[in-house]
Amino acid sequence: MVQHHIEACAKVPGMKEILLMGFYQPHEALSRFLVSAQQEFKIPIRYLQEYAALGTGGGIYHFRDQILSGGAGAFFVLNADVCSEFPLQEMLEFRQQHGDAHSFVILGTTANRTQALNYGCIVANADTQEVQHYVEKPSTFVSEIINCGIYLFTPAIFQHIGEVFQRNQQELVLCPYLGEESSNGWQRAEVIRLEQDVFTALAGSNKLYVYKTDGFWSQIKSAGSAIYASRLYLNQYSKSHPERLAQNKPGGPIIRGNVYIHPTASIDSTAVLGPNVSIGEGVTVGAGVRVRESIVLHGASLHDHTCVLNTIVGWDSTIGRWARVEGTPSDPNPNDPYAKIDSETLFRDGRLTPSITILGRSHLHPAPHSEAPFRLTPHALSAGCSVTIPAEVVILNSIVLPHKELSRSYKNQIIL
């Protein structure tokens, strides 16, 4: 998933370095991914680990010296859990036409009135696009323009984040006198949220602007949204990089719609793939297999005549002959051009919410580099890492945790 962010940043003229930030422990797969991405995009890429989750503003403030070490005049901040066309060059040109050299730009898009309440809402001047009012997840309708989690900043942003840091420090000092605990993790001075702590204060100050995009955008908060994001990227590939998509050809599988197949995958000529399918590195797909609206991660094996629909198949998982693995799609309303995908809760009324089936882990992890639109997994109907599904069973709307060998059919369950 992060590969799309890196590819978009690498296309910006004058981009000097790409920094990934998070509080997750670095591991071998991430290191391999970074090395591979550096080799392809010919740009330095580093991972900076926070000592704790510092919020959307606290992380960049903590590493401000690293960000400014190359003498950057401006820099982008992209949340990792979004998919987009990433109109970064357009945002740069917009900033040159609006505001001054120290102004900041938020990427915005339009949502319907109901779903806008789930995002940061922006009220902007219709002529200048200056942000006049900003509210994060309001309780009542404020605006249909929402925050996409993609920003263009100058070094001046650190002055505003620093003011929040100083205020947090003062509040920590006052906590004992107010009879409050100062050990609460959310009261750390360095935990800073760009949206609530910074943008709200900057609104109306002639320093914050919004660039509205008509291109695709979606949050990625669940496995269902991961499959939807994969569909969006595959559709983009059909226009910008059609050579990355599989085509029908003699001796090859039957392709319907947009399908990505890694060059190392082995696909039987009688298999039917698509629409909106991503097949990862080293995957084996047997005779008569049907795959639709799914992501199959590296090393997985789909035996003859299996049916995989609306599913994420985890690394090195196996699905036996004539088995059916199926989830329930959670797409936005197709009749509303401004509808966004809803982030469903895991349970509703005490029952597992029908969603994408997932075989394997419920985390996002980078896989070895490729042009696959999606190589990482979140929650939905999914078969996890090294999951084995026996022959002639049905797995419906379920989440299977890693290293499980199932012996029967399951419906609407989490298999621990």
Unique residue bearing structure tokens 């349970």: 347
Q: What is the dihedral of CA 187, 343, 199, 148, to 10 degrees?
A: 140
Confidence of residue 239 (pLDDT cuts 50, 70, 90): very high
The tens digit of pLDDT for each residue in 184-234 reads 544 478 899 999 999 999 999 999 999 999 999 999 988 788 999 999 999
The pLDDT tens digits of the residues spanning 347-402 come to 777 777 777 888 775 443 333 334 555 433 333 344 458 899 999 999 999 999 99
Average pLDDT of the chain is 88
Cα–Cα distance between 66 and 48 in angstroms, integer? 9
Residue 230: phi and psi, rounded to 5, are: -60, -40
Q: With a cut of 90, say whether residue 98 has pLDDT above it.
A: no
Q: Using alpha carbons, select from 254, 260, 204, 195 the residue that is nearest to residue 3.
A: 260
Say if CB 236 and CB 216 are below 8 A apart: yes
Percent above pLDDT 70 for the chain: 90
Q: State the pLDDT at residue 174.
A: 65
Higher-confidence residue of 185 and 168: namely 168
Cα torsion 52, 55, 59, 61: sign: negative
| Residues in Cβ contact with 66 at an 8 Å cutoff, skipping those fewer than 6 apart | 19, 48
Residue 175's pLDDT is what? Answer: 61
**pLDDT tens-place string over residues 10-65:** 999 999 999 999 988 888 888 999 999 999 999 999 999 999 889 999 999 999 99
Confidence of residue 323 (pLDDT cuts 50, 70, 90): very high
- pLDDT tens readout for residues 286-309: 999 999 999 999 999 999 999 999
- Domains in the chain, CATH or no CATH each: 2-212 (3.90.550.10), 223-415 (2.160.10)
